[in-house]
C-alpha cells in the first residue's frame, strides 16, 4: 500500500504542475503534451516512456487496490463483533474515509482516462488537442462536479495516506511525526488546489 | 481535620443504570442486561462499583458478573473492559484505576468485553487474551545465562536506549489497544514488546529473530492489520506512542533484509 501509494503521489505532483501550463495558453499546453511523448528519446522510441509510465501507473493502481481489499478483508475479520455503545471515532475524517475515498478515486481514474486519454466521453474529443479538450470538459457542470469532488477526496486520501505510509515504512519517529504530518497536509492542499485550479479557471473564464 | 470533613470521602452517593454484557459461556450468544445500582461513592474505583453490584446479585441469588482483575493498582494488566465504548473508560488509565467520580448521578453506563476475533469471550466481561502470551513466547525474551546476578555495570546501556526501553517496558499487556482498534490489530502491543528489548544490548543477540517471529506470531493469531487509525494510543493506559509502530516496522525491514543476506 505504502510503496504504490508513494509512486502514485510522485506522479500526481508532476501531473499537477504540468496541468498548470494550461494557464499559459493552448500552444504551450499542447506542446507540453507533445513533449511528454518525446521523453526518453533518442534512447527510447517515441512515446515509449509514456507507455512505460502508463503500465507502471496501472500496476500501481491495481496493486494498491488489491492490497487495500486484502487488508480490509483481514481487518473486518479481526473485529467481527461491533460494540453496542459506539462513541464518535477519534480518528480524523481523512483516516476514517480511506476506503470509500479510495473507491471514489478508482472510479475517477477510469472516468478520467475515458475523458482525456481515450477521449471517449470528452465533449469535444479532438485528438492531439488536449487544451481544447480540457476547456470543452469544464464547460459542462457535472464534469466540474466530478473533478472537484474527486480532487477533494484526493486531498483527504493523501492527508492520511502520506503520513500513514511513513509509519508503515518505518520512516516516522517521535521527532519526525510533526514534520511528516505538516508535509502530508501541505501536499494534500497543494495537490487539491492545483488540480481544482484548472476547472475553476475555465468556469470563471480565465482559461478559454 | 474537623469531623465534618473527616477523611476524603464525599457524602453524596450516586444512583446508576448499568447495561452489562452477560454471556454464560463462549458458545452462548450473550446480550446486554440492565441493572440499577445505588449508593455508589464517587471515590470507589470502577471495579469496587462492580463488587457492590456483585454482592447485591449474590444476595439476590443471581450469578455475579465475571470480570478479570488482579493488582487493582494499574500495574498487572489483568483488568479491562469497554466502558461507554472506550477501552478502560473515559480516562487514560486502567479500569481498576478509573474512579466513579468520572461519572455523574443518574448516568447509564454501558459495559462490554474487549472485542476482537483473537480475544474470544470466556464469560461476561472476561476474554481469553492468551494470544498476547503466544506473541510474547515467539520472541519477547532474552537469552541470559542463569546463575548469580551479573555485575550491574558489566553491560553499559546508553541513556537514550534505557529511556526508550523503559517507556516501552511500561506496557502491561492489557489488550486495550486491540480492543480499541477498529481492525482488532495488536501492533501497538507487539511494537512495545519488540522495541523494549531490541534497543537494549541484552536483547541484541535475538534482535532480528525477535521482530520477525513476534510479527509472524501476531499475524497467526488473527489480529488485524494496522491502518494507523491511532485509536490504540489514545486507549493505552501507559501512553505507548503511535510512533512505536513505525519504530517496530523499521526493525522489521532491517531484520528482513539482514536475514536474506
Ligand atoms: C482536475 C484535475 C486534473 C486534470 C485537469 C487532469 C488532466 C489530464 C490530462 C489533460 C491528461 C492527458 C495528458 C496527455 O494527453 O498528455 C491527463 C492524464 C492522466 N491523468 Fe489527469 N488530470 C487531473 C487529475 C488527475 C488525478 C487526480 C489523477 C490520479 C488520481 C490523474 C491521473 C491521470 C493519469 C493516470 C493520466 C495518464 C493517462 C495517460 O497515460 O495518458 N489525473 N490528465
Ligand atoms: S500497548 Fe498499552 S493498551 Fe496495548 S497492551 Fe500494552 S499497555 Fe495495554
Ligand atoms: S487489576 Fe491490575 S492493572 Fe487493573
| B167 in A contact zone (CB under 8 Å) | no
Three-state DSSP class for residue A101: helix
Contact A75 B185 (CB under 8 A): yes
Does the structure show a pLDDT above 50 at B1?
Answer: no
Residue with cell 478509573: B98
Whether B188 and B102 map to the same domain: the answer is no
B152-187 per-position pLDDT tens digit: 888 899 999 999 999 999 999 999 999 999 999 999
**pTM of the predicted structure, to 2 decimals:** 0.90
| B149 inside domain | no
Which residues in chain B have their CB less than 8 angstroms from residue A82's CB?
115
The DSSP 8-state label assigned to residue B70 in this structure reads S
Whether B140 and B44 map to the same domain: the answer is no
What pLDDT does residue B10 have? 55
Whether B102 and B133 map to the same domain: the answer is no
Q: The CATH number of the domain where B183 resides is what?
A: 1.10.1060.10
| Residue % of chain B over a pLDDT of 70 | 95
Enumerate residues lining ligand 3, CB below 6 A.
Answer: B 69-72, 74-79, 94-96
Helix (H) / strand (E) containing B172: none
Whether B139 and B115 map to the same domain: the answer is no
Whether B7 and B85 map to the same domain: the answer is yes
| B150 inside domain | no
To the nearest whole number, what is the mean pLDDT of chain B? 94
Q: Determine the Cα angle at B170 with ends B167 and B173, to 5°.
A: 135
d(CA B103, CA A137): 58
| B249 in A contact zone (CB under 8 Å) | yes
Q: How confident is the model at residue B3 (pLDDT cuts 50, 70, 90)?
A: very low
Whether B8 and B90 map to the same domain: the answer is yes
Whether B8 and B106 map to the same domain: the answer is yes
Contact B250 A167 (CB under 8 A): no
| B109 inside domain | yes
Q: How confident is the model at residue A150 (pLDDT cuts 50, 70, 90)?
A: very high
- Asked if B31 contacts B22 with a C-beta cutoff of 8 angstroms, the reply is yes
Whether B45 and B167 map to the same domain: the answer is no
Contact B227 A75 (CB under 8 A): yes
B208-256 per-position pLDDT tens digit: 999 999 999 999 999 999 999 999 999 999 999 999 999 999 999 999 9
Residue A59 Cα to ligand 3 middle (Å): 49
What pLDDT does residue B146 have? 82
Q: How far is A157 from chain B (nearest CA, A)?
A: 13
What pLDDT does residue B32 have? 98
Q: The CATH number of the domain where B34 resides is what?
A: 3.10.20.30
What pLDDT does residue B147 have? 84
Whether B139 and B222 map to the same domain: the answer is yes
Mean of the pLDDT values across residues A143-170? Answer: 97
Reading the block at residue B64, the C-alpha cell is: 455475579
Of the residues A170, A180, A181, A184, the best mutation for testing chain B's interface (the one with the most B CB atoms within 10 Å of its CB) is: A170
Whether B169 and B50 map to the same domain: the answer is no
| Structural domain of B92 | 3-122
What pLDDT does residue B228 have? 96
d(CA A58, CA A40): 20
Whether B137 and B108 map to the same domain: the answer is no
d(CA A126, CA A114): 13
Nearest to B191 by CA among B140, B227, B150, B130: B140
- Asked if B259 contacts B220 with a C-beta cutoff of 8 angstroms, the reply is no
| B182 inside domain | yes
Does the structure show a pLDDT above 70 at B34?
Answer: yes
- B128 Cβ contact list (under 8 Å, min separation 6): B119, B120, B121, B122
Structural domains in chain B (count): 2
Whether B140 and B256 map to the same domain: the answer is yes
Does the structure show a pLDDT above 90 at B145?
Answer: no
Find the helix packing angle between A177-203 and A2-19, rounded to 10°. 40
Does the structure show a pLDDT above 60 at A208?
Answer: yes
A4-41 per-position pLDDT tens digit: 999 999 999 999 999 999 999 999 999 999 999 999 99
Evaluate the omega torsion of the peptide bond into residue B19 and state whether it is cis, within 30 degrees of 0. Answer: no
Is B107 exposed, middle or buried (CB count within 10 Å of its CB: 0-12, 13-18, 19+)? middle
What pLDDT does residue B226 have? 96
Q: Which domains does chain A have, with CATH numbers?
A: 2-203 (1.20.1300)
What pLDDT does residue A89 have? 87
A100-145 per-position pLDDT tens digit: 999 999 999 999 999 999 999 999 999 999 999 999 999 999 999 9
Contact B116 A170 (CB under 8 A): no
| B112 inside domain | yes
A45-97 per-position pLDDT tens digit: 999 999 999 999 999 999 999 999 999 999 999 999 999 999 998 999 999 99
Amino acid at each position: 500500500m505504502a510503496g504504490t501509494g508513494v509512486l502514485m503521489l510522485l506522479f500526481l505532483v508532476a501531473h499537477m504542475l504540468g496541468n498548470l501550463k494550461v494557464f499559459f495558453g493552448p500552444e504551450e499546453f499542447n506542446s507540453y503534451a507533445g513533449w511528454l511523448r518525446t521523453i526518453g528519446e533518442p534512447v527510447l522510441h517515441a512515446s515509449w516512456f509514456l507507455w512505460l509510465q502508463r503500465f507502471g501507473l496501472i500496476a500501481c493502481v491495481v496493486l494498491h487496490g488489491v492490497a487495500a481489499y486484502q487488508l480490509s478483508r483481514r481487518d473486518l475479520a479481526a473485529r467481527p463483533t461491533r460494540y453496542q455503545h459506539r462513541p464518535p471515532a477519534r480518528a480524523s475524517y481523512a483516516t476514517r474515509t480511506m476506503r470509500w475515498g479510495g473507491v471514489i478515486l478508482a472510479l475517477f481514474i477510469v472516468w478520467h482516462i475515458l475523458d482525456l486519454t481515450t477521449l471517449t466521453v470528452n465533449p469535444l474529443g479532438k485528438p492531439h488537442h488536449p487544451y481544447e479538450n480540457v476547456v470543452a470538459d469544464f464547460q459542462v457542470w457535472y464534469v466540474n462536479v466530478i473533478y472537484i469532488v474527486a480532487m477533494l477526496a484526493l486531498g483527504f486520501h493523501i492527508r492520511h495516506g502520506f503520513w500513514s505510509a511513513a509509519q508503515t515504512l518505518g520512516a516516522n519517529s517521535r521527532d519526525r511525526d510533526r514534520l511528516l504530518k505538516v508535509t502530508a497536509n501541505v501536499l494534500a492542499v497543494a495537490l487539491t488546489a492545483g488540480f481544482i485550479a484548472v476547472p475553476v479557471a475555465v468556469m470563471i473564464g480565465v482559461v478559454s | 481535620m474537623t469531623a465534618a470533613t473527616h477523611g476524603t470521602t464525599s457524602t453524596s452517593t450516586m444512583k446508576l443504570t448499568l447495561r452489562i454484557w452477560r454471556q454464560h459461556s463462549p458458545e452462548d450468544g450473550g446480550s446486554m442486561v440492565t441493572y440499577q445500582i445505588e449508593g455508589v461513592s464517587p471515590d470507589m474505583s470502577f471495579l469496587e462499583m462492580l463488587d457492590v453490584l456483585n454482592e447485591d446479585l449474590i444476595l439476590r441469588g443471581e450469578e455475579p458478573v465475571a470480570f478479570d482483575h488482579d493488582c487493582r493498582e494499574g500495574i498487572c494488566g489483568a483488568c479491562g473492559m469497554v466502558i461507554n465504548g472506550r477501552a478502560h473508560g473515559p480516562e487514560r488509565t486502567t479500569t481498576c484505576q478509573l474512579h466513579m467520580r468520572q461519572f455523574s448521578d443518574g448516568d447509564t453506563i454501558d459495559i462490554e468485553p474487549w472485542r476482537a476475533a483473537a480475544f474470544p469471550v470466556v464469560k461476561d466481561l472476561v476474554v481469553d487474551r492468551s494470544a498476547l502470551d503466544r506473541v510474547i513466547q515467539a520472541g519477547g525474551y532474552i537469552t541470559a545465562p542463569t546463575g548469580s546476578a551479573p555485575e550491574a555495570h558489566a553491560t553499559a546501556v546508553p541513556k537514550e536506549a534505557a529511556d526508550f526501553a523503559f517507556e516501552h517496558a511500561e506496557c502491561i499487556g492489557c489488550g486495550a489497544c486491540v480492543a480499541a482498534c477498529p481492525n482488532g490489530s495488536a501492533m501497538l502491543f507487539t511494537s512495545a514488546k519488540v522495541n523494549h528489548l531490541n534497543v537494549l544490548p541484552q536483547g541484541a543477540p535475538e534482535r532480528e529473530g525477535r521482530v520477525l517471529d513476534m510479527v509472524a506470531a501476531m499475524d497467526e493469531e488473527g489480529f488485524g492489520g494496522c491502518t494507523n487509525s491511532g485509536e490504540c494510543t489514545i486507549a493505552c493506559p501507559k501512553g505507548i506512542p503511535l510512533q512505536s509502530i513505525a519504530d517496530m516496522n523499521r526493525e522489521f525491514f532491517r531484520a528482513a533484509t539482514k536475514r536474506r543476506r
